[in-house]
Amino acid sequence: MDVKEIQEKIKAADIDSLRIDFTDLHGVCRSKLVPARRLEAMLEEGLHHAQATYALDLSNNVAMGTGCGDEVEWRDMIIRPDLNTFAVLPHMEKTARLIGNSYREDGSPHPVDPRNVLINVIKRYEEKGLRPVSASELEFFMFTQSEGCEPEYYNPGLSCVYQVNPIIDRQGILRLLQNTFLELGLEIIYLNSEFFPGQFEVNWKYDHALTMADQTFTFKYVCKEIAAMNDLLLTFMGCPRTEGGGSGYHVHLSLSDADSRKNLFDDPNGKEGMSELMRHFLGGQMAHAKEMAAFLAPTVNSYKRYVPDSFAPFYLGWGRDNRTVYCRVPDERGPATRVENRLPCAAANPYLVMASLFAAGLDGIENKIDPGEPSTGDIYGAEPGTFDTVTLYFRDALKDLEQSSFMREALGPEVVQAFIALKSHELDRYRTFVSDWEFNEYSYHL
C-alpha cells in the first residue's frame, strides 16, 4: 500500500485522525494520535518516543538494566509506520491506524522492538525460500464492572461451554467483536463461550507470520477497548481467578513454499504424514521449550495454568491430535498440516511468541533435530519421570532464558537483556508483595 492509496482511503472514509500504534515488550499497545492531514509530514519525520517505553513496567516504574534508559541517556527512538498495516478502526469515529516499527536516531532498526525481532527471524526463512505461516487461537475472560465492587464474571453460569446465546452473552459482545474484526480484515472462523464462567475463545484464518502477529496484536487491544466502551473488563491474563481456569494462546505453525504457497509440512509418504522438514521443525519446538518459556509465558500468573488435567501443557511431549501434550499435531493433512504449540499464555506478546517459536523451528530444521516418538493417551497420568515437565515457575523460565546462548543469538542479545531486566524487576516486586492468601493463611495461627 502506498501513500496515495492511503490518502484515497482516508478521504473515502472521512478519516480525520490516525493512531500510530506500536507494541512494548509486554504486548501493550502504545500510540500517538495524529491529524490525518499530517500523514505525509508524519511519514517523513516519524514520531519521537522515549526508548524507556521498553523499560516501563505495568505499575509505571522504569526498570533498570534494560539498555533502554540511563544506558542510552534516556534518548528518543523514532516510530515509523508500516503502510501495509493501514486500517480503519470500526469502533472509533473517523479514526484509522497504522502499526509502526521503532528505529534508533541513527536510522537503524531498534533491536528491542518486538516487531523488528520477528521481522529478522522471518528474513532467515525467506533466505531459504520458506514462508512462515501461523494462526492464533486465543482465550479470554470478561467481567462486569460496578463502581466500588469487585468485578464479576460476565457470564457466571456453569457448564456453558460451546453456547452462543443471550443467556451467556446478554450484551451481544461476541457478535460485536466478530463484525468489528471482519471489517478489520481478520477472517474470523468462529467465537464461542469456553469451559469456565466468563471465558470465551476465538479462532481466525491462518496467514503470513508477520500479518498474523499484527492481527493478534490488533485483536487484543481492540477487544479490550470495545469491552471498556461497554462497561466491561476483558482480560487475557493467564489465570484471573483462583477458582477458574486459565486462558491459553495456542499457536498453529507451518511453512509453505515462498512461490507456490504449497504447504511443505505435508508428505503423504512421510512418517505420520509429516515431511522431514516438519519433523525437524517440531524437533526445534521440543528442544528449546524451556529456553523460550519466558517469552511464551511472560508473567508470574502465566504459570498457574500448567497443572495436570487442565488441557494446558504439564509434560513435554508431542502427539497427534492429543490435547494433553506440549505440541499437538492435528490430524488434518494437505494445506492444513501444522504444528500447534499449546504452551503460550494469552497474556504473551504475539511478536515475541512467534519470533521464539519460528526461531526454534528454524534451528530444528538447520540442525535436523529429531522430535522423538509421539506420545499417546492421556499423558497427565504418565508414570513420574516418564516426561520432563514444562517450566512451572517464572523465575526458572527467566533463568533458562538468561543462560540460553541460542535465544540471544536467534532473537538478539538486546531484546533478551531488556526483557530479562524488565521481568526480573517485576518478579522482585511480586516477591515482596504480601497477598490476601498469605494473610488469610497465616495471620490467625502464627
pLDDT of residue 87: 98
pLDDT of residue 420: 98
CB 209 within 8 A of CB 124: no
pLDDT of residue 23: 98
pLDDT of residue 90: 97
CB neighbours of 404 closer than 8 A, spacing ≥ 6?
288, 291, 292, 416
Rounded to an integer, what distance in angstroms lies between the CA atom of residue 446 and that of residue 437? 14
CB 290 within 8 A of CB 167: no
In which residue are the cell numbers 511519514 written?
A: 43
Reduced to 3 states (helix: H, G, I; strand: E, B; else coil), residue 319 is strand
Specify burial of residue 233 (Cβ count, 10 A radius: 0-12, 13-18, 19+). Answer: middle
Q: How many CB atoms lie within 10 A of CB 168?
A: 19
For the chain, 446 residues long, give each residue's pLDDT as a single digit of tens. 899 999 999 999 999 999 999 999 999 999 999 999 999 999 999 999 999 999 999 999 999 999 999 999 999 999 999 999 999 999 999 999 999 999 999 999 999 999 999 999 999 999 999 999 999 999 999 999 888 788 999 999 988 899 999 999 999 999 999 999 999 999 999 999 999 999 999 999 999 999 999 999 999 999 999 999 999 999 999 999 998 889 999 999 999 999 999 999 999 999 999 999 999 999 999 999 999 999 999 999 999 999 999 999 999 999 999 999 999 999 999 999 999 999 999 999 999 999 999 999 999 999 999 999 999 999 999 988 899 999 999 999 999 999 999 999 999 999 999 999 999 999 999 999 999 999 999 999 99
> What size, in residues, is the chain?
446
Phi, psi for residue 30 in degrees, rounded to 5: -105, 145
pLDDT of residue 305: 96
pLDDT of residue 149: 83
Q: Note the pLDDT tens digit of each residue in 92-146.
A: 999 999 999 999 999 999 999 999 999 999 999 999 999 999 999 999 999 998 8
Domains of the chain: 3-110 (3.10.20.70), 120-411 (3.30.590.10)
Phi, psi for residue 430 in degrees, rounded to 5: -65, -40
CB 121 within 8 A of CB 355: yes
CB 225 within 8 A of CB 313: no
Q: How many CB atoms lie within 10 A of CB 316?
A: 20
Cross-strand partners of 339: 253
Specify burial of residue 368 (Cβ count, 10 A radius: 0-12, 13-18, 19+). Answer: exposed
Cross-strand partners of 48: 78
Reduced to 3 states (helix: H, G, I; strand: E, B; else coil), residue 269 is coil
Task: Compute, in degrees rounded to 10, the torsion defined by CA atoms 189, 194, 198, 203.
Answer: -20
pLDDT of residue 243: 87
